[in-house]
Amino acid sequence: MDLDPLSFLVDLCCANDHKQQERSPSVIVIGGGMAGIAAARALHDASFQGKIFTMRKKAGTVALCYGNSKQEGRSPSVIIVGGGMAGIAAARALHDASFQVVLLESRERIGGRIHTDYSFGFPVDLGASWLHGVCKENPLAPLIGKLGLPLYRTSEDNSVLYDHDLESYALFDMDGNQVPQELANKVRDEFSEDMSILRALKLVFERKPELRLEGLSHKVLQWYLCRLEGWFAADADAISLKCWDQEVLLPGGHGLMVRGYQPVINTLAKGLDIRLGHRVTKIVRQYNEVKVTVENGKTFVADAAIVAVPLGVLKSKSIQFEPKLPDWKEAAISDIGVGIENKIILHFKNVFWPNVEFLGVVAETSYGCSYFLNLHKATGRHVLVYMPAGQLAKDTEKMSDEAAANFAFMQLKKILPDASSPIQYLVSRWGTDINTLGSYSYDAVGKPHDLYERLRVPVDNLFFAGEATSMLYTGSVHGAFSTGMMAAEDCRMRVLERYGELDLFQPGMGEDASVIPLQISRL
């Protein structure tokens, strides 16, 4: 009869152990190879107290590592680079899965492109401010509902204009005359071809030559062009209209976060180990660990890392990767577009404008068009938000805050000559901010849409998250959140597989989470 060495070892230990009433049988396993691990596993499952001792050489020294088969005393570890929505979501998920998590953020605040400012005495978002998809399918809906955060969603009103997202508008020409809604609809309906936006514009004139003769209709067309440039934060000659037509939107319309996005970020970040003012300069990946170095020279070491910095930062190559990232990853970083949209927020003493969601200004070119978000309708505050995008956003970033605010006010004066001067203002600069170097990603002309997936795919134990890694919901907060959760789960599975401890992980928020109805107003 063949002898099973492992069974023999277990039986021998059991036979020789003198059990005491208040003491479990014990054994020491010397050697952490397959035989030692197998023996320790069998004895552990037989209710033995087990220790593994092994001598391991590392960095010119000899370190004595000990623990039971579950590596007693040491949890799997991960470093999160970037404290925006994606990074915070990943850190939250892995922290709740009992990982040791350190999040490194270059700024002195968390949130990234979410930045709620309170200097007016009430919350105003300088960055992301909308929940795109006010519905239970939105992965952020459970948390927003639990926090009781109110949303403002636009509602239909036949007395004003609407764009393709059913947001209400009042459009004006440069002389202050309101544009008829019928004319705006006529121009908008022609604007749906699969090509660059500028090419589509030329086709509109070819198919509807009468539009060339209607000066105001041309201006309205430029207005919709301006709105598209704002949606993608880029100029029309860079945006792929074909990819835009394929965009996936969640149902429910768009909801403005009335109290700002900061409460969501703060809730997700509660209890996490977050190191502010830690700008990452170098990431070295090895088979069994990742080393992350910050600007002051300090190095953090963990089993894995999740890179959740904005695409603009990756494009700038301010983070050195060793070894260098694969060519396909570098190509994704290079070929995905990153655009700029800013906010110039004007706070007034009194309200003197129409009660609609947006005020739009039409002009001869999209560059000359402009629009203001009316926060008074949504929040009751006396605030208009001027939102330049593309080249106009770049040009306003060259101005001082005072000059930029005055520029925005002059655009308002063109349509409302009796407008009173603002009493306060705020100006964002997402394009030149070294922590972002852009607002959000977009589909560039001639580039495949799967670039987003290539950017998301891990490289060994290095994972990637952020709105630019979302195939379906680029440029959105819920897209960033979802990619953070995906990166966390991918990281968890890889690390625990190596530890031999892979089990089922249920995120704190997901499709099965109980949903509290969202608080939606329609003023």
State whether 159 and 246 are in the same domain: yes
- How big is the chain by its Cα radius of gyration, in Å? 28
102-139 pLDDT, tens digit per residue, is: 999 999 999 999 999 999 999 999 999 999 988 889 99
Mean pLDDT throughout 348-360? Answer: 90
Instruction: Examine the pLDDT at 263 and tell me if it is beyond 80.
Output: yes
State whether 245 and 375 are in the same domain: yes
Residues facing residue 54 across a β-bridge: 65
Number of domains in the chain: 3
CA–CA dist 230, 136 (Å, integer)? 27
Higher pLDDT among residues 422 and 2, named by residue: 422
State whether 320 and 401 are in the same domain: no
Name the pLDDT band for 226 (thresholds 50, 70, 90).
Answer: confident
Tokens of 23: 């003491």
Name the pLDDT band for 33 (thresholds 50, 70, 90).
Answer: low
pLDDT of residue 363: 77
Residue 148 lies inside a defined structural domain of this protein: no
* Cis omega (within 30 of 0) for bond into 323: yes
Mean pLDDT throughout 354-373? Answer: 83
Pairing type for strands 519-521 and 150-153 reads parallel
Instruction: Examine the pLDDT at 191 and tell me if it is beyond 70.
Output: no
Residue 488 lies inside a defined structural domain of this protein: yes
CA-to-CA dists, residue 7 to 13, 38, 42, angstroms: 10, 11, 9
Q: Say whether 362 counts as a known binding-site residue.
A: no
| CB-facing half-sphere around the CA of 104: CA atoms within 13 A | 25
State whether 173 and 209 are in the same domain: yes
Name the pLDDT band for 201 (thresholds 50, 70, 90).
Answer: low
Higher pLDDT among residues 214 and 489, named by residue: 489
pLDDT of residue 246: 52
Of the chain, the percentage scoring pLDDT greater than 90 comes to 53
State whether 180 and 241 are in the same domain: yes
Q: Say whether 162 counts as a known binding-site residue.
A: no
**Closest residue by Cα to residue 428 from 133, 129, 155, 130:** 129
For 319, residues 6+ apart whose C-beta sits below 8 A from its C-beta are 81, 280, 281, 282, 283, 307, 309, 313
Higher pLDDT among residues 93 and 244, named by residue: 93
Instruction: Examine the pLDDT at 402 and tell me if it is beyond 50.
Output: yes
**Closest residue by Cα to residue 297 from 278, 284, 324:** 278
- Start-to-end CA distance of the chain, whole Å, equals 85
Mean pLDDT throughout 378-407? Answer: 96
Residue 493 lies inside a defined structural domain of this protein: yes
* Residue 476 CB neighbour total at 10 angstroms: 24
Let me know: does 313 contact 437? Beta carbons within 8 Å: yes
Residue 494 lies inside a defined structural domain of this protein: yes
Query: Given 67, 86, 121, which residue is the final one in a domain?
Result: 67
pLDDT of residue 111: 98
Task: Tell the residue number behind the tokens 């926060």, with chain if given.
Answer: 375
State whether 245 and 355 are in the same domain: yes
Higher pLDDT among residues 215 and 161, named by residue: 215
State whether 455 and 419 are in the same domain: no
CA–CA dist 95, 311 (Å, integer)? 25
List helix spans (H) across 166-214: 181-188, 197-207, 210-213
Name the pLDDT band for 181 (thresholds 50, 70, 90).
Answer: low
How far is CA 85 from its chain centroid? 5
132-150 pLDDT, tens digit per residue, is: 988 889 999 999 999 999 9
Q: Domain span at residue 16?
A: 5-67
Instruction: Examine the pLDDT at 414 and tell me if it is beyond 50.
Output: yes
Query: Given 427, 461, 496, which residue is the final one in a domain?
Result: 427
Burial class of residue 334 in the structure, from the number of CB atoms within 10 Å of its CB (0-12 exposed, 13-18 middle, 19+ buried): exposed
What CATH code is carried by the domain that includes residue 238? 3.90.660.10
State whether 222 and 323 are in the same domain: no
Residue 358 has φ and ψ, to the nearest 5°, of: -130, 145
Residue 132 lies inside a defined structural domain of this protein: no
State whether 160 and 197 are in the same domain: yes
CA-to-CA dists, residue 455 to 283, 309, 310, 336, 468, angstroms: 17, 12, 12, 9, 8
Q: Is 45 left (phi over 0), alpha (psi -120 to 50) or beta?
A: alpha
Name the pLDDT band for 166 (thresholds 50, 70, 90).
Answer: very low
DSSP string of 381-417, one letter each residue: -SEEEE--BHHHHHHHHTS-HHHHHHHHHHHHHHH-T
Query: Given 374, 392, 427, which residue is the final one in a domain?
Result: 427
Tokens of 452: 């987003």
Contacts 24+ apart (CB under 8 A), 121-125: 122/379, 122/381, 123/259, 123/260, 123/262, 124/260, 124/345, 124/375, 124/381, 124/383, 124/385, 124/426, 125/257, 125/260, 125/261, 125/343
Q: Considering only 437-451, 455-469, 492-506, which range has the smallest mean pLDDT?
A: 492-506
State whether 350 and 223 are in the same domain: yes
State whether 182 and 321 are in the same domain: no
What CATH code is carried by the domain that includes residue 302? 3.50.50.60
CA–CA dist 470, 473 (Å, integer)? 6
Residue 238 lies inside a defined structural domain of this protein: yes
Instruction: Examine the pLDDT at 309 and tell me if it is beyond 90.
Output: yes
Q: Considering only 71-80, 172-181, 276-285, 394-403, which range has the smallest mean pLDDT?
A: 172-181
Let me know: does 89 contact 484? Beta carbons within 8 Å: yes
282-306 pLDDT, tens digit per residue, is: 999 998 899 999 999 999 999 999 9
Residue 259 lies inside a defined structural domain of this protein: no
Residue 322 lies inside a defined structural domain of this protein: yes
CA-to-CA dists, residue 326 to 292, 307, 456, 500, angstroms: 18, 15, 13, 28
